[in-house]
Amino acid sequence: MPVSESITRHYADHVAAQQVAWESAMEDEGFDAVIIHSGSQVISFLDDYHYPFRPNPHFLAWLPLTRHDECALVIRPGEKPVLYYYQPTDYWYLPPSDPDAWWADHFDVRPVREPNEWRTGVPLGREAYIGDAPDLAGEGDLNPRGLITRLHLARTRKTEYELACMAEANRVAARAHLAAAAAFREGLGEFEIHHRYLDAAMSDDAELPYGNIVALNEHAAVLHYQQRERTRPDDSRSFLIDAGATMHAYCSDITRTWAREPGEFADMIDAMDALQLGLCEAMWAGADYRNLHLRAHLDIAGVLSEFGVINVDAQTAVESGLSSVFFPHGLGHYIGLQTHDVAGLIADERGIEIPRPKGHPFLRLTRVLEPGNVVTVEPGLYFIPVLLDQWRATGDVAAINWDKVEALSPYGGIRVEDNVVVTTAEPVNLTRPAFEAAG
């Protein structure tokens, strides 16, 4: 896939920003140099094939080399980063191609033929090593906590290059989501819909940021549903798809829910969509994400009350924990090089954790939002048998309209998820424009 000019024109500034962030972290932690290893291939036990390879995200923060194992990047203050670019002589596998100028010009690129040849260039002084490659196992300052924490905090504020990559990842995923929705309307099964998605995204499974959730009917009530039934259901009532894409390792994470026919469940999807857009518009710098999560609970409880699923008002549903029966996960998380990106729960460079609200153990982001953050916004409403059974056994049984639950349970549930950039002004939704362009 050609690299767009919107991505390449910001890359030099991105590398410069990385240099500033890393030099600051190194100075604060007393390191003269950092060696970042891209990672090693893992061979299957008693066989000779490799598991899908994904490089160290700290390496990817500098370089768009998503398939490159056994590389090493050496960072020293005031110097051009040195990249030991592993390019073996091989006829079993295709070696990496020669570096592309748009990224390579910003590094001192030194091709190497052996996996550990980078060690000849390790500088003298106090150096830190970052990664999980076997070659690093004996190093003393391996993944030092203080340095990693500072780097993670810096990664929460995205550069223009990173935002351009994530916008493109949203465009790819939106195109594939619409192809998957069309497959659902054609009556295809989960396995077939998944492959329609891959075709539209021009991806294979290993290139996705996470395993696609492709759920028909009751399967939409399994939050991380993973099976993908091979056979088509007799009655395809509803469809939830949680699927993303990557661009230079930067992720998108998008969820949409569809109904086969007009009716109450379709109306509930529309209500959740409107609710979700309101939450996206609330992603302002200075907002405490914990409060936004609690607002989501109140809003979802309002939908449950409006549709007659619960027999109590929204405030009572939240205070009693009833809203968590229908919305048991967090509102969202940071997203970037990792789908659930780093530093969502830490307050500062010491790594002190910011507590989740009481009764909400699965929230992944508890920080106050800052310009440059990119977050997911993914409220959900589900009919999950195990949680409903627990409430029936221990909660106020009369608070739920069980006839309505029985009628809606065959549809599984609803989730709507966008990726939103926090700015100094209004939030920027990366996902909605991508769908408009793809549609």
List strand residue ranges (DSSP E) for 354-412, in order. 374-377, 380-382
Where do the H-state alpha helices sit in 30-72? 57-60
Q: How many residues does the chain have?
A: 439
pLDDT in tens, 217-232: 999 999 999 999 999 9
Q: Distance between CA atoms of 439 and 431, rounded to whole angstroms? A: 12
Give me the pLDDT at residue 2, please.
60
Q: Following DSSP, what letter does each residue of 70-137 receive, concatenated?
A: S-EEEE-TTSPPEEEEE----SSSPPPPPPPHHHHTTSEEEEESSTTGGGGGPPSSSEEEES--GGGT
Q: Distance between CA atoms of 20 and 307, rounded to whole angstroms? A: 53
Return the domain boundaries, the chain: 5-155, 160-438
Is it the case that residue 1 has pLDDT exceeding 60? no
Portion of the chain with pLDDT greater than 90, in percent: 94
* Stretch 144-172: mean pLDDT: 98
Q: What CA–CA distances, in Å, run from 187 to 181, 183, 201, 260?
A: 10, 7, 20, 9
CB-based contacts of 98: which residues, under 8 Å, 6+ apart?
87
Average pLDDT, the chain: 96
Q: Distance between CA atoms of 43 and 270, rounded to whole angstroms? A: 47
pLDDT in tens, 181-202: 999 999 999 999 999 999 999 9
Give me the pLDDT at residue 124, please.
77
For 303, the token pair is 């939908």
Portion of the chain with pLDDT greater than 70, in percent: 100
pLDDT in tens, 229-250: 999 999 999 999 999 999 999 9
Neighbours of 397 (CB within 10 A): 10
pLDDT in tens, 256-304: 999 999 999 999 999 999 999 999 999 999 999 999 999 999 999 999 9
CA 21, chain centre distance (Å)? 22
CA 5, chain centre distance (Å)? 24
- Give pTM, 2 decimals: 0.96
Q: Distance between CA atoms of 218 and 240, rounded to whole angstroms? A: 10
* Stretch 374-379: mean pLDDT: 98
CB distance 339 to 378 below 8 Å: no
CB distance 102 to 11 below 8 Å: yes
Q: What are phi and psi of 62, to 5 degrees?
A: -100, -35
CB-based contacts of 384: which residues, under 8 Å, 6+ apart?
221, 222, 325, 326, 328, 413
CATH code that applies to domain 160-438: 3.90.230.10
CATH class of this structure's domain 5-155 = alpha beta
Q: Distance between CA atoms of 25 and 109, rounded to whole angstroms? A: 24
Give me the pLDDT at residue 49, please.
87
